[in-house]
């Protein structure tokens, strides 16, 4: 039984998500996103963190003891014994489909890590199965919950930027994967989601990619056209370093002004058109919450659990993951054909 007034949450993925370098990481390894799932659900007073599911019995039991919960090596057994209100899933990037489908077919609300999957046919199956069962199905595009992103969103909604004319996204560091288009699908999905979140639907793409460093198309440049008539660009790479300053930059230009986001959580600026004096935001001395990239996940979980309790749609529906994959597939088609591709 769930503890009174608490949401019963189970985590699938005791080994942690593949880390930011794209390498298999232990649960507590630097960059392990599974650690963030466990940290949040184990410490929230409104959550009964009921289980961790993993493949390795010893590792899973160790993590379960560490976080004061129960360990399982079978999703089916965990669902039967624990009957969670929500399953949070943090698996290796290319291992999402089977486990996600199993939870959906059990009719249990779930929250998955990006990317949704790497194959559109699998994505279709997941969304169709969830729709048939009316399953709460959310995805973790946590960049939306960064303070600079929220400020940019508010500026757009308040018409401070006027009509958007162009947007540019640049993001990338060091990574490794055996998938030919790993950077495009598993990392730049954040870019596609963010650009559509702020600028509206992407209508078409034209792409260039390079495999000059080996191990797939690790660096890419994409020209975008939005349904609104605005244009944009996206540059992504695994041939750089996350240690570099200004690793991420998002610029939004409109007829009335410009907003710029630096390193997702670091800084935000706004200038009205023709004005050399602008506004800026950076986290204050004691404002660790908005300074910390990991805390964007905490904010997303706040909104997620509220939506689940109120029987509302997820704050970021899994359909956003499908949309990002659809744009990525269009970019691949564009690169391979040498032409503009409609999304």
With residue 10 as reference, give the H or E element that holds it.
strand 7-12
Any idea where the domains of the chain sit in the sequence?
Answer: 7-135, 143-295+325-342
pTM, two decimals, is 0.93
CA distance 95 to 131: 22
Taking residues 31-54, report their average pLDDT: 92
Using CA atoms, how far residue 34 sits from 28, 45, 78, 265, 328, in Å, is 8, 19, 18, 21, 25
Mean pLDDT of the chain: 94
Output the six-digit token pair for 283: 């986290």
Given a contact cutoff of 8 angstroms between Cβ atoms, the answer to whether 306 and 107 are in contact is no
The string of pLDDT tens digits covering residues 72-97 is 999 999 999 999 999 999 999 999 99
Q: Quick one: which of 232, 222, 246 has its CA closest to 197?
A: 232
User: Band of the pLDDT at 3, cuts 50, 70, 90?
Assistant: low
For residue 208, the model assigns a pLDDT of 98
CA distance 224 to 194: 13
Enter the DSSP assignment of 67.
T
For residue 25, the model assigns a pLDDT of 41
CATH superfamily of this structure's domain 7-135: NAD(P)-binding Rossmann-like Domain (3.40.50.720)
For residue 33, the model assigns a pLDDT of 87
User: Band of the pLDDT at 17, cuts 50, 70, 90?
Assistant: very low
> 143-295+325-342 — its CATH code?
3.30.360.10
């Amino acid at each position: 039984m769930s503890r009174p007034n608490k949401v019963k949450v189970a985590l699938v993925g005791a080994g942690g998500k593949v880390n930011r370098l794209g390498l298999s990481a232990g649960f507590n390894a630097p960059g392990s996103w599974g650690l963030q799932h466990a940290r949040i659900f184990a410490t929230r007073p409104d959550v009964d963190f009921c289980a961790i599911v993993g493949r390795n019995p010893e590792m899973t039991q160790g993590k379960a003891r560490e976080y004061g919960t129960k360990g399982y090596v079978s999703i089916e057994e965990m669902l039967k014994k624990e009957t969670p209100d929500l399953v949070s899933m943090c698996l290796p990037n290319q291992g999402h489909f089977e486990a996600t489908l199993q939870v959906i077919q059990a009719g249990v609300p779930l929250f998955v890590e990006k990317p949704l999957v790497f194959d559109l046919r699998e994505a279709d199956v997941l969304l169709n199965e969830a729709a048939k069962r009316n399953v709460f199905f959310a995805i973790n595009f946590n960049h939306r919950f960064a303070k600079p992103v929220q400020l940019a969103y508010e500026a757009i909604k308040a018409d401070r930027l006027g009509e958007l004319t162009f947007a540019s996204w640049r993001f990338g560091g060091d990574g490794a994967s055996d998938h030919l288009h790993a950077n495009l699908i598993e990392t730049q999905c954040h870019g596609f989601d963010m650009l559509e979140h702020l600028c509206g639907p992407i209508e078409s793409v034209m792409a260039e990619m390079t495999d000059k460093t080996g191990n797939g198309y690790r660096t890419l440049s994409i020209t975008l056209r939005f349904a609104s008539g605005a244009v944009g660009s996206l540059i992504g790479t695994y041939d750089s370093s996350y240690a570099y300053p200004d690793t991420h930059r998002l610029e939004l230009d409109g007829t009335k002004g410009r907003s710029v986001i630096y390193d997702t959580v670091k800084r935000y600026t706004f200038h009205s058109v023709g004005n050399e004096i602008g506004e800026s935001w950076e986290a204050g001395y004691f404002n660790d919450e908005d300074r910390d990239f990991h805390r964007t996940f905490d904010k997303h979980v706040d909104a997620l659990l509220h939506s689940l309790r109120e029987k509302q749609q997820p704050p970021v529906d899994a359909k956003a993951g499908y949309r990002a994959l659809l744009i990525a597939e269009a970019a691949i088609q564009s690169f391979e054909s040498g032409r503009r591709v409609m999304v």
